Amino acid sequence: MIWPKFKDWIDERYDIAELKKLAKSKLIPQHRYDFLYYTGGITLFLFILQFITGMLLAFYYIPHIDFAYESIIDIVTKINMGWFFRSLHHWGAQLCIVFVFIHLFGTLLVKSYRKPRELLWVTGFILLVISIFFGLSGYLMLWDERAFAAVRVATGGAGALPFVGSFIKIFLRGGVDVSGDTLTRFYAFHVSILPLLSLLLIGLHLLFVQYHGMSTPVSLEKKEHKEEPFFPNVFYKDMMIWLVVLGVVVTLAILLPPEIGKKANALAPPPEGIKPEWYFLFLLETLKLFPGIIWGFNGETIAIVCVSIGIFFFFLIPFLDRKSSRGEKSPIFTIIAVVYLLYFITMTLVGFLS
């Protein structure tokens, strides 16, 4: 009895039928690469999951150098289901970054970035950077020796950039070394600045997707292909995939809860065999390739500059790939995309196995 009345109440105020019509009019192309359309949806779902679990953890987490570690132990050992939500947050973050990368390389390989979707690429790329910074800032929240050493290395690496490096390092650390100020700053980034930025960018990204519609690969653009309405067909398929992803995250959270190391100590040496999070491994392995001194210059600075140039070129691909923007095939950029992908996978594996 309440539901029809509520529906009428809404119908009187908002044109729901028009919204439904709009959702039904949105058509999604069907082709052999259409599975890539779902990677964006999965990433969005994982972002939502991160927001929910993050809010629950924030109820109990204390962002202070003396209590951060203890509060995490309390969450895991004393709070009802605390261990589960922490584990869910951890695995949600890992899978979120995995799917951001899959979405990114999928976009790159089928050239969905081409004109007029350059801004979609730009917003997506910034979202990737934000996701990685989310990971780094969240990692420090634990305040154990591994997190401490990883953040020291990461912020130290940023400090090797010429001209702006020392400013970035001091800005991130809130001082000369990683300390309680760093924890406060990273907490502020993790729970307020980055979520706000990511909400804004996700909104923009979705707005651009709705505005331009779904892209089709260059090779299939001129061929005839089937289309299906977003609502209800693709919407229901999205629901099914999201359910499976939720099942996977929950299973990982239960079977492989993340460990907690010793409390961070600024004066203690870093633990042996320390490795950063998996998405930083390719950067670390790249830095290892460079010798300490190259032609009298600092090798680390040269390495960081080379990596930055590589990432900047990657970011500029939609603006450099003129052929695909004209609707022509551009094999050079396909090769470049494959090289980037192979390099990323290989160096991550090398870093993981070494």
Partner 1 sequence: MKIKLFLQIIISLLSFPLVPFRVRRRESGSFKFQNSILSLCLFWVALFFFVIKPLAFAEEKIPVFPSTPVEAYTIYASLAVFWLAIIGLIVIIKMKLNEIDRIQKLGIDKEDNEAPLLD
Which CB, 236 or 312, lies closer to partner 1?
A: 236
CB atoms within 10 A of CB 16: 11
Residues touching partner 1, count (CB under 8 A): 24
If binding is defined by CB under 8 A, does position 30 make contact with partner 1? no
Select the span of 93-101, 253-261, 274-282, 339-347 touching partner 1 (CB under 8 A): 253-261
If binding is defined by CB under 8 A, does position 227 make contact with partner 1? no
Sign (positive or negative) of CA dihedral 250, 149, 351, 297: positive
Question: Which of 162, 175, 232, 310 forms a contact with partner 1 (CB under 8 A)?
Answer: 232
Specify which residues 227 forms β-bridges with: 29
Burial class (CB in 10 A: 0-12, 13-18, 19+), 72: buried
Q: State the helix-helix crossing angle for 281-289 and 145-159, rounded to 10 degrees.
A: 50
- CA-nearest of 279, 343, 325, 311 to 116 is 325
If binding is defined by CB under 8 A, does position 233 make contact with partner 1? yes
Q: Provide the minimum distance between the beta carbon of 247 and partner 1 in the complex, in angstroms, as a whole number.
A: 5
Unique residue bearing structure tokens 């998405």: 279
Q: Provide the minimum distance between the beta carbon of 42 and partner 1 in the complex, in angstroms, as a whole number.
A: 15
Per-residue binder mask for partner 1 (CB under 8 A), 262-281, x = binder: x-------------------
Q: Which two tokens stand for residue 296?
A: 């009298």
Specify which residues 226 forms β-bridges with: 30
Unique residue bearing structure tokens 């979705």: 206
Which CB, 90 or 114, lies closer to partner 1?
A: 90
Question: Which of 83, 278, 314, 343 forms a contact with partner 1 (CB under 8 A)?
Answer: 83
Q: Provide the minimum distance between the beta carbon of 107 and partner 1 in the complex, in angstroms, as a whole number.
A: 26
If binding is defined by CB under 8 A, does position 240 make contact with partner 1? yes
HEC sequence for 311-335: HHHHHHHHHHCHHHHCCCCCHHHHH
Residue 204 and residue 212 in contact, taking contact as beta carbons nearer than 8 Å: no
Q: Which two tokens stand for residue 252?
A: 């990982």
If binding is defined by CB under 8 A, does position 74 make contact with partner 1? no
Residue 90 and residue 49 in contact, taking contact as beta carbons nearer than 8 Å: no
If binding is defined by CB under 8 A, does position 246 make contact with partner 1? yes
Question: Which of 237, 278, 299, 314 forms a contact with partner 1 (CB under 8 A)?
Answer: 237
If binding is defined by CB under 8 A, does position 87 make contact with partner 1? yes
Q: Provide the minimum distance between the beta carbon of 21 and partner 1 in the complex, in angstroms, as a whole number.
A: 9
If binding is defined by CB under 8 A, does position 22 make contact with partner 1? no
Which CB, 254 or 309, lies closer to partner 1?
A: 254
Unique residue bearing structure tokens 């910074």: 133
**Site residues (CB under 8 A) for partner 1?**
73, 76-77, 83, 86-87, 232-233, 236-237, 239-240, 243-244, 246-247, 250-251, 254, 257-260, 262
